[in-house]
Amino acid sequence: MLVAMGGGERDEEGGPRAWRRGWWWIVMALVVSMAVLPMPAKAKIDLYMSSDETHRLLGLVAELYYVREGVINSYALDFTVPVPANFTYIYFTWRSTIKRPVQYMAHMEYDNGEAMALPQLNISNKGLVPPRPETFRISLPCSGRVDAEVLVNLHLNITTHSREPNLTNITIKRKKICLKEEFAPRNESIYLRPEWMSSSLGSLYVAMGCACTFTVLVITIASVLYLRFKRAREQGSLTCRYYSGAGFVGDNSGVPASNSGVRGGTSLKSSSYATIASFKKVPILTHQVSGVSGGGDSLHYASSPLSHVYSQPYSPAHSIPASRHSHASCCASSLHSQASWHDPRQMDPSERVRQLTIDRWKVEMGDVLQEGTFGRVHRGVYRDPYARAALSVIIKTVSGEASSSQARMAVREGLLLAGLHHQHLLPVLGVCLAEPRHPLLLYPHLGLSNLKTYLLGCSRGSGEGVKLLTRDVVHIAIQACLGLIYLHQQRLLHKDVATRNCLIDSELQVRVSDTALARDLFPQDYHCLGDNENRPVKWLSLEALIHKQFTPANDVWMFGVLLWELTTLAQQPYIEVDPFEMAAYLRDGYRLAQPNNCPDELFGMMACCWAPAPEDRATFPRLLSSLQDFYSTLSKYI
């Protein structure tokens, strides 16, 4: 064949000149074809439907890739996937395949506004493709007015910034089936005959008078009962009754119930949660703590400004001093007042930044302790020439991939606790803004690690064989509660109470920290509900979730979720609930279930934090009192 292509000529020695000439033409043809034929588009991302989503939507057990390792699957994109009428949400998974930032712009369009409301994405319209696989969702809400097949297109513009900028357009097609809903006919008007009205007018007046009298009587009785109940509640301790999956359980008065299974030496382990490991157990505070002797043990918070109110010696009858009740009632009424509360994140931070500014040459960056998409937490050293020794610090900063707004947000959130001094708070020590796009936030190191990361390590059994006891969980909760009480005394709200915003050392000493970089370091805990704002949706109370109303009662609600995190070793709350459905889920009365091996007393405190009405929730002084009582009860079994 090659001889034929070369014309069949041979050289004088009989060598195949035609063969060599044919091979040269083949090489030239391949080069030309590579130059002429279009190369596959490179989007620098992976975009696919997971096997679960493919099985749910199409009945196939396989991943359906639209873009794989940057190569676009044109056949999959040309296919319009039908979405059944009973499916409102569809899910996609994506990630960036390169280290450089990959920007995207998203746009939705559909062809029938009567059959479908506006489709929505749970991600912003533009941003960066995540470097790790993450799932985003599209909601396709049918109006129920007509039967129709609505064509919905998701347009993604992927831009890669390099020496040769690359712009790729991807369109994913879906056909949503919408069905008309049958509504019951409404009776818009009722015809009344005049003779009926004239004959019944007297009876109508009598009935209205009786109804008004009865209404006034009911309101009067209800007001008297409510005032008596409120007064009794303010004078009583925290005795919120709750229900578990097995029915009525009891109260959390601090006395071990017969079915509670509370033992001071029992570790938190079950079939659902792995054995909890811990470090060496130490007293609740580094200050005066008396041990167990004879009939009782006492907890003294001598260094705390609340020590004269909240230190309670144990007695067999669990009597509660009346002075603490009166102070707790005063605190309860003042903490729930919103008249003078303020949020430092809404204030101009320039003055505090000037007070905390340090020189860049005094800071030495060390190893990376924690890393997110753009946030970094380093170990470091602060060297002051006027100090005797260098100070070991934790440094929070952002990478080159962070935008200027993300850098400013990190500084603003890092100033939440600036200027506060308490043994269970971790305020920022200094701020370096020599490079505005790369600010440095310095905190004292003190051998601290993130509490959520520590609990997750315990769940994996990396605690060197020492088990974390129920007493240790209560011990951690007491310290966090003390820090939040002091924060509220300063008229400040935290708004993001969770284990991810607390730190712990090797002796179980806990400090509540600010929220700087929390959204980036723990992205699975935050969700965007279509308003371009990442919020800790599954930690928020109902009023904060719907109306964005933040009060001390919202911090109490989040503290209840923190208690649940402690008992489950930082498991994700409401993991089976879609973030967009959380408001309806809470409004219907659903709450987190009691974890396995969680004492009834401790779960009772959680339940009192999750009351629907903010005024019905426990206050932090009451929670601290109950936690102290429970800690004293557990000490009897040691």
Determine which helix (DSSP H) or strand (DSSP E) holds 405, and give its type and residue range: helix 404-414
**What residues are labeled active site?**
496
CA dihedral in degrees (555, 559, 561, 564; nearest 10)? 180
CB 619 within 8 A of CB 331: yes
**Would you say 1 and 19 are in contact if contact means Cβ atoms under 8 Å apart?**
no
Residue with tokens 């004088």: 12
DSSP label at residue 472? H
Task: Say how far apart CA 510 and CA 234 lie, in whole Å.
Answer: 30
Residue-level pLDDT at 566? 95
CB 6 within 8 A of CB 20: yes
User: In sequence order, what are the residues at sequence separation of 6 or more whose Cβ sits closer than 8 angstroms to the Cβ of residue 122?
Assistant: 136, 137, 138, 139, 527, 528, 529, 530, 579, 580
**Helices 620-635 + 600-609 axis angle, to 10:** 180
pLDDT (0 to 100) of residue 22: 53
- Mean pLDDT of successive 10-residue segments in the chain (638 residues)? 41 47 50 43 82 83 87 87 87 88 88 87 88 90 88 89 73 91 42 42 69 84 74 48 35 33 41 28 30 30 28 31 33 35 54 84 90 91 84 91 88 90 93 88 91 88 64 95 95 95 92 93 91 90 92 96 95 93 93 92 95 94 95 79
In this prediction, residue 230 carries a pLDDT of 60
CB 116 within 8 A of CB 176: yes
Residue-by-residue DSSP string for 590-635: --PPPPTT--HHHHHHHHHHT-SSGGGSPPHHHHHHHHHHHHHHHH
Residue-level pLDDT at 203? 63
Helix (H, G, I), strand (E, B) or coil at 291: coil
Q: How many CB atoms lie within 10 A of CB 523?
A: 15
pTM more than 0.85: no
